[in-house]
Amino acid sequence: MTDILTGITEALSFGTIAFVILGVFIGNLMGAIPGLNSTMAIAIAIPATYLLSPLVAISFLVGISKGGTIGGSIPAILFNTPGTPEAAVTALDGHPLAKQGKPLKAMKTAVYSSVTGDTMSDLFLILLAAPLAVYTLKMGPVEIAAVVFFSLTVVSSVVGSSILMGFFATFLGLLLSTVGTEVETGTERLTFGSLDLLDGLSLMSVAIGVLVLGEVFMEFAKGRQASPTVIAARKSENPEDNGLSFAEYFALRWTLLRSGLIGTAVGAMPGIGSTIASVVGYSSARRASKTPEAFGKGSVEGIAAAEAANSAVVGANLIPLLTLGIPGNIAAAFLIGAFEIHGMQPGPLMFIEQKSLIYGLFAAMLIANVSNLVVASMTLRMFSYAVLIPRHFVYPVVLCLTLAGGYLVDDGGFAAVLTMIIFGFVGLLFRLFSVPVLPFVIAFVIGGMFELPFRQSIILWDGGVMTALEHPVAIVFVLAGCAVFVRVATAMMRRDRNLVERLAGQD
Amino acid sequence: MTLGKTIFGVLLSVSSILLIFWVIPAQTTTSEYTSLQPAVYSLIPAWGLLIVGVLATLQGLRSAPNVDDIQLPVVPYLLRASILAMACLVFIVLVERIGFLVMSPVLIALAAVAQGARNPISIAGVSVAVPLTIWLIFDLMLNRPLP
């Protein structure tokens, strides 16, 4: 109890609150700039957290993540170009509503719904994480290996348009995670005699390279692009069009609750992510709505459903991270890097060894939601101008920030920045050939963690097939992973067959 | 047949075979003290890559023409991105000798011009202001010196 109160007290300190608000502000701004997102902002901000205490650093990064979700809805609403992929669904109703002269109403609906979904998901995290962590600590290596197998299978199968590319990314990530010193024998593995590779490839260099530099390279590869037409976030003469009244918000309660629950459930599953959550939340709201015909034409309900669902993923994504040490999405993968910078390994043991940090983080997340509401409500019009920042300056600045950050992560130096550039090019190739980045990063992150339980499982498994029956939880996870794979593979094969038949029909 | 997927599959299969039979055995040592050799954990994903490569080749050969094939103009994209990657490599080589504050404005200015910026005043402003701000934050405020 003392640890919990210590954590909450630290979260309520001026420093933590100030950095949470700063994080939310940066997240809002980065989300509002088309082409940038909160993940890129987290990657760029990580080097700046070295001198902060672990709680302040992690809370700052979580603030960026939460702020980015709301910021991403601004370009989606104002010019139909989502700042973040998950905001694409928000654009379906947000942009038509803005075209009707109600851009502020659309943006405020997005803010209130986002904060509601986010808070719901945080409450689930706070209530579920500790009991789940207690259970996880009782799990043996076989169960842990099975959970990792399940996570990797789900991520490989569900993310991206092709299951083959998903597995390609996963296997490549796993292979690269084996570079360095082998855990049991201490011998070198795939280091090619390089001393820089003895500790393995740096997580931050690889992740920042693939995710941020890969995106920057892709933007440069596209060349010059025309600026889209923007709808100005002007106030309407009718005050009702400039905001969302409490009565309107209350009328959305079931939509928000449904989408919040969908986002939480999706977020708790590793790798599925907020884009799928917003699609599922939106389509469920449409099915349940009394006015489904209004969807796609500027429906407030549609905006609320999409935003509540995609924001609910943010908190829930920390469930697999804090209870299993498995990142649920890219932002969580970066948080692992941030935890490591501060000498900590996220996972269930944190609930015993770092109780005050965990509960401080939970408190900071709730503070971030309040900050998000206040900051976003106050700065919506200001951030709407961020969409006008010329793209030809956005990416050069991101490039410079990323390279500078490379000198600071993991004690930096030439090797770290070179790794970053090489993996930036790998990230470009991934984007050119439609290889999903998420399975690669998640496999790379958990590959190293998986090795020891995997080895122990193989030794335990030596007893034969009957030994498997002693691990029913592991069997459930392995079967569930296989079921997801078969389900997705069958659906994709059916889709491909239909496409081939359609093309044959055209001939 | 889809050319992109077939080429990808063949290249991946060949690379995986090289990894399994040459690179991984040459870059790992055999230990007498463990039941599971250090190479095993690298070989599993390598075999996985080989299976993906073979399946991609088969899928490419059996697909209808132009189904799910590469949609982007890969060669011009790669050329443009390669120029930037080379500029980044030159940057990291020179930054250790000349310094971040000198090299960064050059990199930003070149990148901005390549992206279509034409106003010399705004290019100069951004190119100087951004590296200076980064340097102030990292070097002076965070005490994390840049080259």
Kindly give, in sequence order, each residue whose CB lies less than 8 Å from that of residue A442, ignoring residues fewer than 6 positions away: A151, A152, A155, A170, A173, A270, A271, A326, A327, A333
Q: Residues of chain A whose pLDDT is less than 50?
A: 507
The position carrying tokens 């992510």 is: A273
Q: Which B residues, 51 through 90, put their C-beta within 8 Å of a C-beta on chain A?
A: 52, 55-56, 59, 63-65, 67-68, 70, 72, 74, 76-78, 80-85, 88-89
Kindly give, in sequence order, each residue whose CB lies less than 8 Å from that of residue A410, ignoring residues fewer than 6 positions away: A202, A204, A205, A341, A416
Q: What is the pLDDT of residues B23-64, one digit of tens each?
A: 999 998 887 777 778 888 899 999 999 999 999 999 888 776
Structure tokens at B71: 């949609």
Cα separation, A88 vs A91, whole angstroms: 5
Cα separation, B84 vs B68, whole angstroms: 29
pTM over 0.80: yes
pLDDT of residue A497: 63
Among B68, B74, B147, the residue with its CB nearest the CB of A432 is B74
pLDDT of residue A463: 58
Q: What is the pLDDT of residues A123-166, one digit of tens each?
A: 999 998 888 888 888 888 888 888 888 888 888 887 777 888 99
Among B34, B76, B147, the residue with its CB nearest the CB of A407 is B147
Cα separation, A221 vs A212, whole angstroms: 14
Q: What is the pLDDT of residues A50-79, one digit of tens each?
A: 788 889 999 999 999 889 888 888 888 887
Distance between alpha carbon A187 and the CA centroid of its chain, in Å? 35
pLDDT of residue B30: 81
Hey, are the CB atoms on B84 and A396 less than 8 Å from each other?
Answer: no
Q: What ipTM does this complex have?
A: 0.91
Q: What is the pLDDT along chain B (147 residues), one digit of tens a residue?
A: 577 788 889 999 999 999 999 999 999 888 777 777 888 889 999 999 999 999 999 988 877 665 555 566 778 888 888 999 999 999 999 998 898 899 999 999 999 998 888 899 999 999 999 999 988 888 887 777 888
Structure tokens at A101: 């002269």
pLDDT of residue A433: 85
State the greatest distance between any 2 C-alpha atoms of chain A, in Å, as a whole number: 77
For residue B121, which residues of chain A lie inside 8 Å, CB to CB?
A: none
Q: What is the pLDDT of residues A310-319, one digit of tens each?
A: 889 888 888 8
pLDDT of residue A507: 44
CA-based nearest residue to B109, from B96, B122, B98? B122
The DSSP letter of residue A189 is E
pLDDT of residue B94: 92
Indicate the average pLDDT of chain B: 86
Task: Find the residue in A nearest to B99 (Cα).
Answer: A404
Shortest distance, CA A478 to any CA of chain B (angstroms): 17
Among B52, B63, B77, the residue with its CB nearest the CB of A221 is B77
Hey, are the CB atoms on A459 and B104 less than 8 Å from each other?
Answer: no
Distance between alpha carbon A25 and the CA centroid of its chain, in Å? 18
**B10 and chain A in contact, CB less than 8 A:** no
Hey, are the CB atoms on A175 and B77 less than 8 Å from each other?
Answer: no
Hey, are the CB atoms on A400 and B146 less than 8 Å from each other?
Answer: no
**B103 and chain A in contact, CB less than 8 A:** no
Task: Find the residue in B nearest to A391 (Cα).
Answer: B115
**Which site among B31, B37, B42, B75 would you substitute to test the A interface, given the most A Cβ atoms closer than 10 Å to its Cβ?**
B42
